[in-house]
Structure formats: structure tokens, C-alpha cells
Amino acid sequence: MESAGQYDYIVIGAGTAGCLLANRLTQDENINVLLLEAGGRDDYIWIHIPVGYLYCINNPRTDWMFRTEPEAGLNGRSLIYPRGKVLGGSSSINGMIYMRGQARDYNEWADLTGDASWRWDQVLPLFSKSENHHAGKSEFHGDKGEWRVEKQRLSWDILDAFRDAAAQVGIPNTDDFNRGDNEGCGYFDVNQKRGIRWNASKAFLQPAAGRGNLTIMTGCQVKRLKISSDENGKHCSGVEFIGGGKEWMAESICETILAAGAIGSPTILQQSGIGNEAHLQQVGVPLVHQLAGVGENLQDHLQIRSSFKITGAKTLNTMADSWLGKAKIGMEYLWSRSGPMSMAPSQLGAFTRSDATQVTPNLEYHVQPLSLDKFGDPLHAFPAFTASVCNLRPTSRGTVRIVTNDPMAAPKISPNYLSTVEDRKIAAASLSLTRKIVAAPALQKYAPQEMKPGAEFQTEAELANAAGDIGTTIFHPVGTCKMGRSDDVTAVVDSQLRVLGIAGLRVVDASIMPSITSGNTNSPTLMIAEKAALSILAMRGKTVV
């Protein structure tokens, strides 16, 4: 086994969290960091063109190519489960939507962990610190950070009409979803810079890449963490990994930090013998440390995609239905970095309640001026739009579990969508609300006709079953290494994200969320990494500029 050297910190995963950690830690020239990434460089052209997510998702060059197990709640269907396998991680292939969630999310984390530093008023400055917002500095936004947030560079009459229809049924217009209360309807802000995707690699890793105290190794897949025991307890002292056809060992003086995401981090822990003993015995991995919560508590947002055929409005379906149309779209992007090629997957959003008992919005809409049967299929040949809606706070819980002691094997991913009565009830209610919006006066000039799920589904039971047919992941897995109090038997890390019972090991990514945020999860992951960097450096008596 080759030696990759000794470092103060080893960061596993160069996704959203890993890129920020590498940047912040190496601002201190006395700290040496090794950043390991299983994927390659983010030099694929389709990463940077916003519409290129179509060519990055389900592409082994940029995606881990995971699939879920067949899901009972989805009527036996298995879904593709995209996760970025490239510098920048999922920020290189995601929908680019800048979303923080709601203040209640972080206040709940503070309550669950007993740590008030997770409250909204405490984490808001961390969001602002990394932010470079198009409107400049304000009470809620920052303008000096690396994470560029811009308005989208196009609008659509059909989406404007949907926004007006939403207002007519009681969902007000909003110009900012990121002030702690995201209720309302408006165009999403996006992580782009002048019409080009702005991923975590560009924002945080590229500025740090030239520092002599940062070593970046790509194409390296972790086998296991090195855990030792002595009279002081258990300690992580490094990592074994495979790269360039060789097996390597790297040693960490201070900490090894897992930033491999909600799928990767629990998988690495389990391959290292950290998890539930009964499960590890089944797959032939010797138990090193019992933590029953590893790989449990998987949460995700299931988007239920209603689609409507229309007349009299421009949509992407008809704009891109010929070579001439495609050429015009391409020329517009080349000329002005605008038009459909600058589109995020969803342009218009709305946050509202499924019923009056909800204290804050529990539904999120992603509305698109297009329609297709499923991801990867061609657009329909007629004008149409899609209104996807998801339950922001699902009660269903799933698992991520290794199935073999081979570290190269994909884990078994079982989200257990729509497995609770409450989730099925909210799914049915959300489809009914979509119909109510589409029936509002503002959309009637476009004569919308429901294609999916179909007007034949009417009762709550029928609609819940239909949701299983048309629901798909919106790519927000979290929670599989949840943080919690020391007496929480399902917790994996403490409120400073240190793995319980193992010194020198921390998890810093979306897997630590005890409950999913009420919105898209990429920028909350960035905040988690910002907070962790402060905690790590505070232990050294340092602060981040």
C-alpha cells in the first residue's frame, strides 16, 4: 500500500461541503489538507451550461448512477437517484436553485440537539457570509462571499400566468424566498454567474487550489477509515483508498472529515465497521463501533409532477421541436448567455400550505414551461407546462445500507416514499391544490387540459395512488448521519458534527440534518460546512476571515 502522506485534515468528498471546507481550512497556511474526490475534474462543458444538467444526470462521467430499490409507495417503481461524482459534487449537476428553507427548520434542529447555535438567527450570518447576492448587502443577504446568487435571465408568459393564478387562490407574490419565511410565489434565484452555472468548485475550490497547503486527489474511492483503540478510546487516524490503480493510505493528524453526502458518508462509515452490528454481520464487515443510526433516517422530497396541455402560449416544447428552433436557442445563449439554455430545471416556485392546520408552508412547487413523460425522454410535441409539488416535511423515513463488504459496490437505497398515512394524505391534497390553481381565471385563456395524473383520479385514495405513479425524487436526500443529543440512540454525530464515540472523525454534509429543510438542500449544506469550519478552527484557536 502506497503512502499518500500525512495531513492535519483529510476531507473525503469534494462536493458542496468539501469544497468550502478545503477553502476555509487552508486559509491558515499552517494547516495542511488532503481533499479526496472519487470523481474527476469539473471540465465537462455541460456542467457549466445551465441546461446541461440534462446531460450530466445519469451520465457516469458526472453521476454516481445510483438507483433506489423498487418502492411500494411508488407502485413498485425504481427511480434513478442522481448524486454528483465530480469536483463540486451535486452542485455541478443540480437545479442551481438558491434556497435556505424556513427559520422553523433551524430552530427545530436547535431543539433536537440542545444547541442554540443552530437557531435561524445564529445561522443566518453564515448563509450571508458565503453569499454574493445580486441585490447587494441587506439584513438577509451578503455581497462579499463566493456563492453567487442571481436572478434568472428569462421569463415565460405561461409561468407569469401561473403566478397570477396562484395569487387568485391565496398564494401571494414574493420576490425573495430566503428571509426565513418562504411563503409565496415567484421566480427562483439561482447559483449562476452571467448565465453560467456557479458550482462549489468554482466558488470555493478554484480560489484555494493554488495554495501550497492543499492537496487535491481526484479519481480516488475510499475503502475504509482507519480506526484504532487505546486506553483513551477509539480514534480515526486516516483513510485507505484506491486511486490510479493503486491502494493508498493517508494519515490525519487532527481529523478526518466525511463530506461524501447523504449516500456516500453512511456508506463509508458502514464499510469501516461503524454502524448497526446486526446489519454489518449480514454483509461480512467486522463491527468496529456500534452506531445504530448510520444509514437510517433517510429523508427526501418527492415531487409529484402534474402536466397540462395548453394553447396560445410559448413553451420549450414547441421552441425546441425542430433543428431551426434548437439553433435559435443555441445562438441566443452564445450571443447573450440567456434564453432556454440558461434555464434552471425549474424557473417558477411557490410555497404554500396543504391545509389550514399547517403553521408554515409545507408544500413547494417547481413549475416548468415544458412537459415530458419522464426524465431523459423527449419533450412533447405540443405546448404544455408541468407543475411539480412536493411535501416539504415528509414523515416517511428510509435507509441507505451497504449490501456487501466490497467498497466499490453501490449501496441499497430505500427512501420508503409515501409510506405513512400522513404523507399519502398530503400528496392527495397537493394534487387537488394544483388543480385549484390551474382552474383559476388567470390561466383560462390558455385552456389547460390535465394530462397527468388525469381527471379520472378524484378521491383521496385515487390521488394518493396516482402520486405513486407520477412521483419522482427531486434529489434532496438528507439525514443518514443525523446529529443529536448524546442520549439519542439514533444520533450519529453531536451538534458540532463529531462522530459519537470516535475521536478525530467528523461528518459535514447533508447527512447530518436531523430533519429535512423546507426547500432545496444545496445551500443549507453549504451553511453546515461554513459552521463546521468555524468549529474546527475554533478548536485550534483560529478564526476564518
- Mean pLDDT over residues 18-47, rounded? 97
- Mean pLDDT over residues 171-184, rounded? 97
**How crowded is the C-beta side of 212, counted as CA atoms within 13 Å?**
2
Q: In the annotation, is 476 catalytic?
A: yes
Could you count the other beta carbons within 10 Å of the beta carbon of residue 456? 8
pLDDT digits (tens, 9 = 90+) for 211-232: 999 999 999 999 999 999 988 8
pLDDT digits (tens, 9 = 90+) for 386-423: 999 999 999 999 999 999 999 999 999 999 999 999 99
Beta strands in 392-500 (DSSP E): 399-401, 412-414, 449-452, 471-473
**What is each CA distance from 377 to 60, 374, 380, 497, in whole angstroms?**
18, 6, 9, 41
Name the amino acid, one letter, at 334: L
Q: Cell numbers of 272, please?
A: 469501516
Give which of 360, 407, 42, 372 is closest to 177, Cα–Cα. Answer: 360
Could you count the other beta carbons within 10 Å of the beta carbon of residue 106? 24
- Mean pLDDT over residues 482-492, rounded? 95
What percent of the chain clears pLDDT 90, i.e. is strictly above it?
89
The bridge status of strand 147-149 relative to strand 274-275 is unpaired
Instruction: Please give the Cα distance from 184 to 174 (Å, whole number).
Output: 5
Helix (H) or strand (E) holding 437: helix 421-438
Q: Which string of b and e fits 313-348 if b means at least 16 CB within 10 Å?
A: bebbbbbbbeeeeeeebeebbeeebebbbbbbbbbb
User: What integer pLDDT is reported at residue 378 of this predicted model?
Assistant: 84
User: What integer pLDDT is reported at residue 545 of this predicted model?
Assistant: 47
Q: Is 275 left (phi over 0), alpha (psi -120 to 50) or beta?
A: left
User: What integer pLDDT is reported at residue 542 of this predicted model?
Assistant: 57
Backbone angles phi, psi at 347, to 5 degrees: -105, -45
Name the amino acid, one letter, at 479: G
Sign of the torsion formed by the C-alpha atoms of 24, 28, 31 and 36: positive
User: What integer pLDDT is reported at residue 543 of this predicted model?
Assistant: 52
**Report field, pTM of the whole predicted structure over 0.85:** yes
- pLDDT mean across residues, the chain: 95
Helix (H) or strand (E) holding 112: helix 103-113
Q: Give me the DSSP letters along 241-283.
A: EEETTEEEEEEEEEEEEE-SHHHHHHHHHHHTTEE-HHHHHHT
Q: Is the pLDDT of residue 538 over 80?
A: yes
What percent of the chain clears pLDDT 70, i.e. is strictly above it?
99
- Mean pLDDT over residues 249-264, rounded? 97
Q: Cell numbers of 440, please?
A: 383559476
User: What integer pLDDT is reported at residue 240 of this predicted model?
Assistant: 97
pLDDT digits (tens, 9 = 90+) for 46-105: 999 999 999 999 999 999 999 999 999 999 999 999 999 999 999 999 999 999 999 999
- Mean pLDDT over residues 308-314, rounded? 95
